[in-house]
Structure 1
Amino acid sequence: MAITVPAPRRATLLVACAAAIYRRVTDALEFWAAPLLQLAIRLWIARVFFLSGLTKIADWNATLFLFQEEYKVPLLPVPVAALLGTTFELGMPVLLVAGLMTRCAALPLLGMSLVIQFVLGASNPDYDNTEHFYWMFLLLMIVIRGAGPISLDHLLSRWIKPLRP
């Protein structure tokens, strides 16, 4: 004798089964893939800025010339802008790679990307470099989501219990 399940009940069971499978897949992705993706994003964006910083310290006179003639950063004297830009490009990527103070490290790089795209790009009508938008999106993701589980931030947050009133 075969057991028959009414059609509405079968549909409910199929939906429940599909929902359970979907939940298991998304949980697995969140547990395994998301941390690796967050690490990959941190490493990639850190590399972009670190290599730019290395280029700047390779020839400081050329860097000063670029800041004076091409970049023309408003409000800051040329040597100060060059020093700050280079310092951020060399220092913040180290923090991103380590995953230490990651949100704070991403903020100056986000600011630099905004200046590059909207201040320097606006002054040059032929400027069309959408790559900086990708940098901004990735840096925003770091600022919003943090470093992820594969980071010193995560390790420290588990080791040092937050103070609660």
Structure 2
Amino acid sequence: MTALLSIYNNLTNRLTAADWMVPTLARFVFAAVLLVYFLNSGMTKLGDGISGLWTPSTGAYAQIFPRAFEAVGYDSDALSFFHQLVVVAGTWAEFILPTLIVLGLLTRLAALGMIGFTIVQSLTDVYGHGQESALGAWFDRFSDAAILDQRALWIFLLFVLVVKGAGPISFDRALQPRAS
């Protein structure tokens, strides 16, 4: 039994020493699972042509401010400057933050931004779009609820990056000053 425990401890100590693996795999999993999701979502919000970067589509307002957009008769010009600013910032965030995470550039800040983005996205889905059925419940026998189950895993993945950083294969590491 002592030999078996020794083998187990040796293996787990090696895994603990491989601290580079967790943030590197977290960025890889983010890229594999969520990068295209967010980029595609951002594409649906862009307006026509190059000016679409600062004049989002009407769909952007419907996705981000569904009730306010409906209240003004689906006329984006009738919304306030605040609404326009949030929609433009949200659209850009869907491109910039995931790209920064995948590159490993300003990773902790980008992951923190994505956590906030995911929380706002979830609240908008529930309160703005009325998707209470997508909320689900924790500690039940189902693991497929779009909000409490899936997005909790997204946030945990992003939290790993906030705590651990980007890992050794990143621009964050390359830009760190070298120890003398």
Q: Does the pair score TM above 0.5?
A: yes
Q: How does 1:38-117 map to 2 (within 5 A)?
A: 38-43=26-31, 44-57=33-46, 60-69=57-66, 77-117=82-122
Percent identity between matched residues is: 28
With over 3 angstroms needed to count, the CA separation of the structure-2 counterparts of 1:136 and 1:156, relative to structure 1, is: same
Offset at 1:150? Answer: 2.2
Offset at 1:35? Answer: 5.2
Offset at 1:121? Answer: 1.5
CA deviation map 1:50-99 (0-9, x unaligned): 22112222662221233342587xx9832111101011111111111110
Offset at 1:145? Answer: 1.8
AA partner of residue 42 (structure 2)? G
Secondary structure, in 3 states, of the residue corresponding to 2:122? helix
Aligned to 2:8: 22
User: Under a length normalisation based on structure 1, what TM-score does the superposition of the two structures give?
Assistant: 0.69
Offset at 1:49? Answer: 2.0
- Structure (1 or 2) with the larger CA radius of gyration: 1
1:143 aligns with 2:162: yes
Secondary structure, in 3 states, of the residue corresponding to 1:138? helix
Structure 2: where are the runs of 5+ without partners?
A: 49-56, 70-79, 135-145
Kindly indicate which of the two structures has a greater share of residues assigned to helix.
Answer: 1
Aligned to 2:152: 133
Structure 1: where are the runs of 5+ without partners?
A: 1-13
User: Distance in 2 between the 1:71 and 1:89 partners?
Assistant: 21
AA partner of residue 22 (structure 1)? Y
Secondary structure, in 3 states, of the residue corresponding to 1:77? helix
User: Under a length normalisation based on structure 2, what TM-score does the superposition of the two structures give?
Assistant: 0.64
